[in-house]
Chains A and B, each alone.
Chain A
Amino acid sequence: MKIVAVTACPTGIAHTYMAAEQLEKTARAAGHTIKLETQGAMGIENELTRSDIAAADVAIFAVDIEVEKKERFDGKRIVKVGVAEAIKNPKGVLEKAGA
């Protein structure tokens, strides 16, 4: 399945990227396609476009803060978890998203 995801934590130095790595690694190992946006201290990287989002089956937010430019996801099914959960149990998060 096609997944889009956003990770973000308060300082944006480490956990944002750890969660991103876990979700990408686990999703790809399971044969999914995933495009993941990080919102960290460097700002938004690998930004999701409206067409990326439209083409996806589900959006995962692994965040401890508000997602920026949230309006892009209006109407999309969103599964929201904490950053720690995505790091500890990426598989569970993907399952929660129906993947």
Chain B
Amino acid sequence: MTTSLRFVCQLPTGLHARPASLLAETARRFHAAVAVTNEATGESVEGRSVLSLIALDVQRGHSVLVEAAGDDAAEFLAAVEALVHSHFGESLTPSATPAASGAIVARVPAPLRRLGAAVIAGRSVCEGVGHGVAVVVGGLDIPESIRHARTDAPDAEWARASAALAAVRDEIDEDLHATRDVLRSELLRAHLGIVDDPALHNLLEQAIRSGKAAPRAVVEASAHFMSRLGSSASAYIRERAADVEDICRRILGELDPSLLDECQITFTGPSIVVADSLGVSQLMALDAKLLHGLVLGDAGPTSHVVILARSMRIPTIIGVEGATRSIAASTPIIVDAFGGFAVPASDPIAEYYRREQAFRDRRLARIRPLLHKRGTTRDGVPLEVAANAAMPAEIRAAITAGADSIGLLRTELLFLDRAQAPSEQEQYGVYRAAVEAAVVAGDQREVIIRTLDIGGDKPAPYITVPEEDNPFLGCRGLRLYHKHPDLLRDQLRAVCRASAHGPVKVMAPMVATLAEARWFRDRIAAVQAELGAEGLDHDPGLPVGIMVEVPSLATIIDQLAKIVDFISIGTNDLCQYWTAADRTNKAVASLNNVRDPSFLRLLEQIVSQARDHALWAGMCGEMAGDPLNLPLLVGLGLSEISAAAPSIGPIKSRLAGYDSGACRDLLTKALGRESPHEVTALLEGFAATHRADSGHADPIHPDLVLIDCDATTREHAILDLVGALHAAGRTDDPRALEEAVWVREDKGPTGLGFGFAIPHGQTDAVSCPSIAFAKLRAPIEWASSDGQPVRAVIMLAVPASDADRTHLRLLAKLARRLMHEGFRESLLSAPDVDTILHILRTELELGA
């Protein structure tokens, strides 16, 4: 019997890859033959093929007809109806993510611009600098003979194609079993989906049965899907086209290995791969030790190849027009993925990067010991600096970046984008991988796993959420668990079992009452009893906590302390519920500010109550990730803060310079202010007077004095001083400081005569006003006003928002002192760093 269902697509980005794969996955669970028609275009496809469904290009407002024939057709259509009703688990509000910005503009350092470097611009998707020999990878070069090849024996030819498909499938399957990397597994699974796609098989078989040779059929199938996916209105779908091309290339390679000659990649030393398009499988096959950079033409920022490159931390630029034509094979090149370009590595350019790398290395060497030391203030008060993560692959990176632990492991990703909830076993595998990834040098770090946090704004198809006018005040987080006891039970069992493999804590989102906290605790006790009875390993002392993100908890922290082992403050939701203002709503967003003294008082109340009742309190909202807020968090006396991995370094280096008493004083002041702006001003003043790494901000420091600088050009002298400032932690963005200095330099050289130059720049890339000094081994031309070469360089670097103007006064004083010959001579004849520091300190009245 044939039945049908018609619906109008409501999804803002149409029936894109995620909903299409849900529909195909659902179709595969039934026997019924399924046809799906986009009535806006009149096109019909097979319902089990993700590729075909995506290629239907169903946009919002298009009418879709789903027809099913077979015994279970009615059941299938009911399942589809549920999918449609849940909007395929998608949000109907268009996501706020902006489209990728249009024009590509490389940020080329001024010294390279001055050298007239011929840069090839792209967009940086993974920062870093890589040097190597260009290995240019061509696309498939299909000879005309293949494009017209025919077969007289279609049966044998189809058997040959099937064997090739099976061989590719087996290779992927083998890789899948061999890898322990979660990201690689996901990508390989996606590739398995393509190689198994019925639409691909049908297209190949039809072409071969009509007399076309197998390689020709593959080339045509590839072109068909590439053009269908490539013309989609969605960038996400266009990027999936690359995976189809990748698979088709592999099938062709099985049919005729000589076709891949141009695509072969061999490294003889450090290499930069240059390709118009590169498949994930090609990247996976490369020697990661010799791959120092990627220059790609046709790859999107969310394409699989880019995601993989980022996980491998390969400096990568994309969107490079005609990459393979503009870069000659076997020539040495440099990929600068800080600035977003590639450039031939001529001697002066290589020298620029050599000097830059030298100070970047010094910076790393300096902060490395700090990163792997548990977070502590200068006076020894511990504050655990943890990282937020959403999948095990991120955990290793976060721990390497210096995270003391994982303060928030989100589990939503596991549950979204699928037709059925993940099984206990699948979840156990993921949580266990997470725990096992949180190890550094044999030291096991704690992982706080948060149970599922979804709601009516982003439902999964297997979770029923009634229509709600206001999902943020509705059934979300823990409130959903009552309706889905099995879902919670499976997750808690998986978490408890993972706790046998390392230190784990578990916490629930969206708790508003004591009763809910108690209920959650009881569920865990029940699961632990089950596991005990089944003889399954778990940590019976698993700490149980809750997120504090509903203001109602703020007044009952003492009571909560008797029920749970810890709390973690989720500042994003807590602030939104506290201020009753949605921060994505422009009209009211300004009300929602975590620096509002009212909110700070709320936090103070929560944390001090927790402390009084010996309840461990952490924070995992965005507030924790902004290093400017750090003194407030230290002042609050939190036990832990958890932020995105890139914030860990800046937070730890600042923390090491802060005094807990000064932070408490600052918090007290902030609590007495009347607006968030006043608090921001306080924080900026604090940051400007407290230098990263150590101690009170001192404009001069031994590390900022280069007593025997071997620079021979103005460019190198400026670079070396910027480098000294970076290595000493005065700037996290040396390129921005360098640029600011050159903007000033281009207005008129700062060689002020008398053998001195004072390059200077004002930029927020500098954390506090600083003076760097270089005595040059040999004099340098600086286009000085008196025509004399420069023998000493003093660089002044000042934050754009210099809250404390005494520093500007100091720089004015320095400028005035330089007009006195005695001062200049004493600096030029100083034998060592200490003497120079002494002179600067006395003459500029800096105090001890």
Contact = CB atoms under 8 A, between A and B. Distances in A.
A20 B786 CA distance: 18
Interface in A34-87: 38, 40-42, 64, 84, 87
Given A38-B812, A42-B808, A14 B819 contact: no
A14 B811 contact: yes
A42 B819 contact: no
Nearest to A87: B752
Given A11-B744, A87-B752, A88-B753, A17 B816 contact: yes
Interface in A1-55: 10-11, 13-18, 20-22, 25, 38, 40-42
Interface string B792-829: 00001010000001001101111111111000000000
Nearest to B806: A42
Nearest to B819: A21
A84 B798 CA distance: 22
Given A84-B785, A87-B753, A87-B785, A11 B812 contact: no
B750 interface: yes
A97 B796 CA distance: 32
A13 B762 contact: yes
A14 B817 CA distance: 11
Given A14-B758, A15-B752, A21-B817, 12 more contacts: A10-B747, A14-B750, A14-B812, A14-B814, A16-B812, A17-B812, A17-B813, A18-B815, A18-B819, A21-B820, A40-B808, A42-B809
Q: Which of A20, A64, A87 has the most CB of B within 10 A?
A: A87
B64 to A, nearest CB: 62
Nearest to A43: B805
B726 interface: no
Contacts of A38: 812
Q: In which size bucket is the chain B interface?
A: 20 to 34
B760 interface: yes
B140 to A, nearest CB: 56
User: Which among B747, B753, B815 has the highest number of chain A CB atoms within 10 Å?
Assistant: B815
A87 B798 CA distance: 23
Nearest to A64: B748
Interface of B: 744, 747-748, 750, 752-753, 758, 760, 762, 785-786, 796, 798, 805, 808-809, 811-820
Contact of A25 (B809, B813, B819): B819
A20 B811 CA distance: 14
A17 B815 contact: yes
B307 to A, nearest CB: 43
Given A11-B744, A13-B798, A22-B819, A42 B805 contact: yes
Q: Is the interface of B mostly helix, strand, loop or mixed?
A: mixed
Given A21-B816, A40-B812, A14 B796 contact: yes
A86 to B, nearest CB: 10
Contacts of A10: 747
A11 B760 contact: yes
A84 to B, nearest CB: 5
A64 B813 CA distance: 20
Nearest to A25: B819
8 contacts: A10-B747, A11-B762, A13-B762, A14-B796, A14-B814, A15-B752, A40-B808, A42-B809
A42 B802 CA distance: 10
Contacts of A16: 812, 815
Contact of B811 (A13, A21, A22, A87): A13
Interface of A: 10-11, 13-18, 20-22, 25, 38, 40-42, 64, 84, 87-88
B747 A14 contact: no
B762 A87 contact: no
A19 to B, nearest CB: 9
A84 B753 CA distance: 10
Contact of B762 (A18, A41, A84): A41
Contact of B786 (A40, A64, A88): A88
Nearest to A18: B815
A17 B819 CA distance: 10
A55 B549 CA distance: 68
B762 A14 contact: no
Contacts of B760: 11, 13-14
Contact of B808 (A15, A18, A41): A41
A15 B815 contact: yes
A20 B796 contact: no
Contacts of B816: 17-18, 20-21
A11 to B, nearest CB: 6
Contacts of B762: 11, 13, 41
Contacts of B785: 84, 87-88
A18 B747 contact: no
B744 A21 contact: no
Contacts of B813: 17
A13 B805 CA distance: 11
Contacts of A21: 815-817, 819-820
Nearest to B802: A41
Contacts of A41: 762, 808
Nearest to A26: B819
A41 B698 CA distance: 20
B790 to A, nearest CB: 15
A3 to B, nearest CB: 17
Contacts of B809: 42
Nearest to B805: A42
Nearest to B817: A21
Contacts of A15: 752, 815
B819 to A, nearest CB: 4
A10 B760 CA distance: 12
B818 A18 contact: yes
A38 B812 CA distance: 10
Contacts of B814: 14
Contacts of A84: 748, 785
Contacts of A17: 812-813, 815-816
Contacts of A20: 816
A16 B814 CA distance: 12
Contact of A13 (B753, B786, B808, B819): B808
A59 to B, nearest CB: 21
Contact of B815 (A14, A25, A64, A88): A14
B806 to A, nearest CB: 10
Contacts of B750: 14
Nearest to B818: A18
Contact of B812 (A42, A64, A88): A42
A41 B819 CA distance: 20
